[in-house]
Amino acid sequence: MASAGDSSVKQNNKQRILEATIQLMNEQGGAVGTSQVADHLGISPGNLYYHFRNREEILRELFERLVQELDEVLRVEAGEPIPVARLVACYTGGTRVLWRYRFFFASAVDFIGRDPWLAQRYLDFSRQSQHYMRLIIQSAMKESPGPVKATARQTAHLAEIMWVLWVSWPRYSELAQPGRKLGEADIGHGLEQIAFVLAPYLGEIYYKQVLQRVHRFVKGLEREAQT
Amino acid sequence: MASAGDSSVKQNNKQRILEATIQLMNEQGGAVGTSQVADHLGISPGNLYYHFRNREEILRELFERLVQELDEVLRVEAGEPIPVARLVACYTGGTRVLWRYRFFFASAVDFIGRDPWLAQRYLDFSRQSQHYMRLIIQSAMKESPGPVKATARQTAHLAEIMWVLWVSWPRYSELAQPGRKLGEADIGHGLEQIAFVLAPYLGEIYYKQVLQRVHRFVKGLEREAQT
DNA sequence: GTCTATACGCCGATAGAC
DNA sequence: GTCTATCGGCGTATAGAC
Does position B197 have pLDDT exceeding 50, yes or no? yes
Torsion angle defined by CA atoms of residues A80, A86, A92 and A93, in that order, rounded to the nearest 10 degrees: -70
Structure confidence at residue A178 as a pLDDT band (50, 70, 90) = confident
Task: Report pLDDT digits (tens) over B130-139.
Answer: 999 999 999 9
Structure confidence at residue B5 as a pLDDT band (50, 70, 90) = very low
Please name the member of A107, A147, A175 whose beta carbon is closest to the beta carbon of B148: A147
Task: Report pLDDT digits (tens) over A68-114.
Answer: 999 999 999 998 999 999 999 999 999 999 999 999 999 999 999 99
pLDDT at residue B183 in the model: 79
Task: Report pLDDT digits (tens) over A182-223.
Answer: 778 889 999 999 999 999 999 999 999 999 999 999 999 888
* D strand bases under 7 Å from protein CB: 1-6, 10-16
For the ranges A43-52, A138-147, A217-226, B186-195, the one whose mean pLDDT is highest: A43-52
pLDDT at residue A9 in the model: 56
Task: Report pLDDT digits (tens) over B30-62.
Answer: 999 999 999 999 999 999 999 999 999 999 999
Structure confidence at residue A157 as a pLDDT band (50, 70, 90) = very high
Nearest chain B alpha carbon to A201: B200
* HEC profile of B87-112: HHHHHHHHHHHHHHCHHHHHCHHHHH
* Nearest residue to A129 (alpha-carbon basis) of A59, A78, A74: A74
Write down the pTM of the prediction: 0.95
Q: What is the CA radius of gyration of chain B?
A: 20
Does position B4 have pLDDT exceeding 50, yes or no? no
Give the distance, in angstroms, between residue B115 CA and nucleotide D9 C1': 19
pLDDT at residue B116 in the model: 95
B18 contacts B58 by C-beta, under 8 angstroms: yes
- Min CA distance, B62 vs chain A (Å)? 18
Question: How far apart are the C-alpha atoms of B157 and A169, rounded to whole Å?
Answer: 13
Question: Residue range A5-20: average pLDDT?
Answer: 78
C-beta atoms of B171 and A110 within 8 A: no
Does position B178 have pLDDT exceeding 80, yes or no? no
- What single-letter amino acid sits at A223? R
Question: Residue range A146-150: average pLDDT?
Answer: 94
Lowest mean pLDDT among A79-83, A155-159, B121-125: A79-83
B85 contacts B54 by C-beta, under 8 angstroms: no
Maximum C-alpha span of chain A: 62
Helix axes A84-100, A116-143, angle to 10 degrees: 160
Q: Length of chain A in residues, anyone?
A: 227
Does position B180 have pLDDT exceeding 80, yes or no? no
pLDDT at residue B181 in the model: 80
- What single-letter amino acid sits at A52? F
Give the distance, in angstroms, between residue B119 CA and nucleotide D5 C1': 36
Question: Residue range A34-51: average pLDDT?
Answer: 98
pLDDT at residue B23 in the model: 98
Please name the member of B113, B164, B178 whose beta carbon is closest to the beta carbon of A29: B113
